[in-house]
Amino acid sequence: MATRENTDIQSLIQLRSKQIGKQEMRHEAQIQMQMKFFDTLFHQVNSNLSNYGLINYVFLPFSPFSEIWTTYMARFITFVQANSITPEHIPLPNNLTWEELCGIMTKNFDSYKFTARERHRLYTDINRQPGETPLELAARIREIAPSCNVPAIKDPLDEAIKTLFVCSVSNETVVKAIFHKASEWLKF
């Protein structure tokens, strides 16, 4: 009886060894397919380089409903630098200089104008982190507070109501739409 059990165990071990061998072969084949795919993809990307060294990539225009201006601008500058794009290669609308264009876009889309978003961030996103000292928390609050444009508040009660309203809205789409309006647009 013990011999039969040993034989059964040995046959199970052999069967399992064969399964593991087949599994390793399939895994190796998958790795080879992936390597071939990435190699093909790499060659396609490199063959699509344009005269300016750009990869065949479409940089989407700024949308205030999906991104904050400063984040978009940082991403755009990184893209420009990574692809060695010089200001001479960028077609500027209405013959504006690069600095003028950036200045206009920053003036129109910079988050400082969207005080509702900054105040919402200040009142809802700031929580004391585990292990954070009160001084460190105060430093983080001081870092964010200037973007709330507190010195421009003429009617503190109206601003408090606006901020409370924005912080109370639970629909993310509505909140994002409010964030991209100037503070003067919100009236109570």
CA 17 to chain centre: 46
Query: What pLDDT does residue 110 have?
Result: 64
User: Higher model confidence: residue 163 or residue 185?
Assistant: 163
Residues 6+ away with beta carbon under 8 Å from 106: 69, 73
Q: Quick one: which of 124, 108, 109 has its CA closest to 163?
A: 124
Q: What is the pLDDT of residues 55-85, one digit of tens each?
A: 556 667 777 767 777 888 888 888 777 777 7
Q: Quick one: which of 110, 99, 38 has its CA closest to 73?
A: 110
User: Higher model confidence: residue 4 or residue 92?
Assistant: 4
- Indicate whether 104 pLDDT > 80: no
Establish if 48 belongs to a structural domain. yes
Judgement on whether residues 34 and 73 belong to the same structural domain of the protein: no
User: Higher model confidence: residue 6 or residue 53?
Assistant: 6
- What is the average per-residue pLDDT within 108-126? 73
Judgement on whether residues 165 and 131 belong to the same structural domain of the protein: yes
Establish if 117 belongs to a structural domain. yes
CB 118 within 8 A of CB 149: yes
Residue 116, both tokens: 């509702």
Q: What is the pLDDT of residues 123-155, one digit of tens each?
A: 888 888 899 898 888 888 888 888 887 887 888
Domain residues for 84?
Answer: 69-109
Judgement on whether residues 163 and 177 belong to the same structural domain of the protein: yes
> Which is it for the CA torsion 184, 180, 124, 140, positive or negative?
negative
136: left (phi over 0), alpha (psi -120 to 50) or beta: alpha
Judgement on whether residues 120 and 173 belong to the same structural domain of the protein: yes
Query: What pLDDT does residue 48 have?
Result: 45
The model carries a pTM of 0.38
151: left (phi over 0), alpha (psi -120 to 50) or beta: alpha
Query: What pLDDT does residue 10 have?
Result: 86
Judgement on whether residues 151 and 88 belong to the same structural domain of the protein: no
Establish if 4 belongs to a structural domain. no
Establish if 62 belongs to a structural domain. no
Token match 């984040």: residue?
A: 71
If one counts the domains in the chain, the total is 3
CA 10 to chain centre: 55
Judgement on whether residues 49 and 27 belong to the same structural domain of the protein: yes
Mean model confidence pLDDT for the chain: 75
Judgement on whether residues 118 and 178 belong to the same structural domain of the protein: yes
In total, the chain counts a number of residues equal to 188
Establish if 157 belongs to a structural domain. yes
Token match 């009160």: residue?
A: 134
Judgement on whether residues 98 and 162 belong to the same structural domain of the protein: no
Q: What is the pLDDT of residues 13-51, one digit of tens each?
A: 888 888 888 888 887 887 777 666 655 654 554 444 444
